[in-house]
């Protein structure tokens, strides 16, 4: 057995050595299950899930958890301890953020059962979340925002409104993913959230934005001072929102705005799902309420039946209704 002790103190290293040696003896002689720690599980999770589009978010959550979970044996991670830690996260951020961390903990512990490191996983209940409304802006608000943004962010935001692409797909877009002659672009499976390729039909606006970027960088489309843009939630973005008079608006809401505009323009939910690369139709239905007009024709189908309830009501029935009304009066 060879591994780092993680310390420069000889006494601590010797203590770790003795504990590991005792565990190894008990496993061999007594058949005890190895005592793995949360750190062991976290490392293996990152190694086996390195392909995930959200692996960086997993790493962010794991870094936060290390303050409380570092060195903890998996068998010591009971429901009370985990929920106490998640309550700290909820108070620091929100119920939604705490639930994202909870989902990661649950996924890792379930894999520990599969790896035969644990016998069972404690039952963890999510925190109640308030339903978040879809945040989008009008064309007038979008025009004000674009006017206030610096050129490099303006082009990226305008391109997002024209394509509905996620921020990472816009900032990471490379020239080998674009065909201006055919007016198409594509997102590779390893770049999309659901690990499926996305094809984008480029509008004239999107093509014009891309043409303005030509010659600025050899590989990446959107750059700033010769370097690919990696961060968009900057002071310049926040100041532009403030000057434009737009509140409670994130960069990701540009995607919501694109989808909302499409629905209001008559794009079907099924087509929008394909265009936006959503994995399930349920994720797209949140935009359906923005255009109830498409239900008008269906609502009118029973209009004749409803009107006949008055025009074709038999006279005795009408008399009975009048008598009941007079009695009530």
**Which residues, including other chains, have CB under 8 Å from residue 59's CB and lie 6 or more apart?**
46
Question: Of 89, 255, 256, 262, which is the active-site residue?
Answer: 255
Give Cα separations from 172 to 1, 190, 230, 273 (angstroms). Answer: 42, 12, 8, 22
Annotation marks residue 255 as catalytic: yes
Report the alpha-carbon distance of residue 102 to residue 61 in Å, rounded: 10
For residue 117, indicate whether it is catalytic. Answer: no
In the DSSP assignment, the letter for residue 37 is B
Catalytic residue among 26, 154, 252, 286: 252
Q: Exactly one of 26, 106, 152, 193 is catalytic; which is it? A: 193
Structure tokens belonging to residue 83: 């929920």
Q: 278 an active-site residue?
A: yes
d(CA 140, CA 295): 27
Active-site residue, 252 included = yes
Q: Per the structure block, which two tokens stand in for 322?
A: 């009048």
* Residue 22: Cβ-neighbour burial (10 angstroms; 0-12, 13-18, 19+): exposed
Distance CA 278, CA 198 (A): 10
Choose, from 36, 45, 251, 278, the residue flagged as catalytic: 278
Instruction: Please identify which of the residues 45, 117, 261, 287 carries the catalytic annotation.
Output: 287
- Annotation marks residue 2 as catalytic: no
The active-site residue, picked from 89, 166, 256, 262, is 166
Written as one string, the DSSP assignment of 174-212 is BGGGEETTTTEEEE-GGGSTTS--EEEEPPHHHHHHHHH
Q: Is 183 an annotated catalytic residue?
A: no
What's the Cα-to-Cα distance from 225 to each of 10, 143, 188, rounded to whole Å?
Answer: 50, 25, 26
Residues designated catalytic: 166, 193, 252, 255, 278, 287
């Amino acid at each position: 057995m060879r591994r780092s002790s993680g310390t420069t103190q000889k006494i601590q290293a010797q203590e770790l050595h003795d504990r590991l040696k005792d565990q190894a003896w008990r496993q061999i002689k007594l058949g005890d299950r190895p005592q793995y720690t949360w750190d062991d599980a976290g490392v293996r999770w990152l190694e086996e899930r390195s392909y995930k589009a959200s692996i960086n978010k997993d790493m962010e959550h794991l870094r936060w958890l290390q303050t409380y979970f570092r060195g903890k044996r998996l068998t010591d991670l009971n429901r009370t301890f985990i929920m106490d830690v998640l309550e700290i996260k909820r108070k620091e951020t929100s119920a939604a953020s705490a639930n994202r961390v909870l989902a990661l903990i649950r996924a890792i512990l379930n894999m520990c059962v599969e790896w035969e490191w644990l016998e069972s996983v404690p039952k963890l209940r999510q925190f109640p979340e308030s339903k978040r409304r879809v945040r989008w802006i009008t064309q007038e608000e979008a025009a004000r925002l674009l006017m206030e943004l610096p050129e490099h962010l303006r082009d990226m935001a305008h391109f997002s409104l024209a394509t509905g692409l996620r921020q990472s797909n816009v900032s990471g877009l490379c020239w080998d993913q674009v065909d201006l002659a055919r007016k198409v672009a594509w997102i590779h499976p390893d770049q999309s959230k659901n690990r499926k390729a996305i094809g984008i039909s480029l509008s004239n606006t999107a093509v014009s934005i891309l043409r303005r970027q030509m010659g600025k960088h050899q590989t990446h489309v959107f750059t700033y001072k010769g370097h690919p843009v990696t961060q968009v939630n900057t002071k310049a973005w926040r100041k532009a929102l403030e000057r434009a008079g737009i509140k409670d608006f994130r960069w990701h809401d540009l995607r919501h705005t694109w989808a909302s505009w499409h629905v209001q323009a008559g794009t079907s939910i099924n087509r929008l799902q394909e265009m936006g690369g959503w994995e399930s139709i349920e994720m797209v239905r949140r935009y359906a309420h923005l255009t109830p007009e498409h239900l008008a024709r269906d609502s009118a189908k029973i209009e004749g039946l409803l009107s006949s309830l008055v025009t074709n009501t038999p006279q005795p029935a009408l008399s009975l209704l009048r008598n009941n009304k007079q009695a009530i009066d």
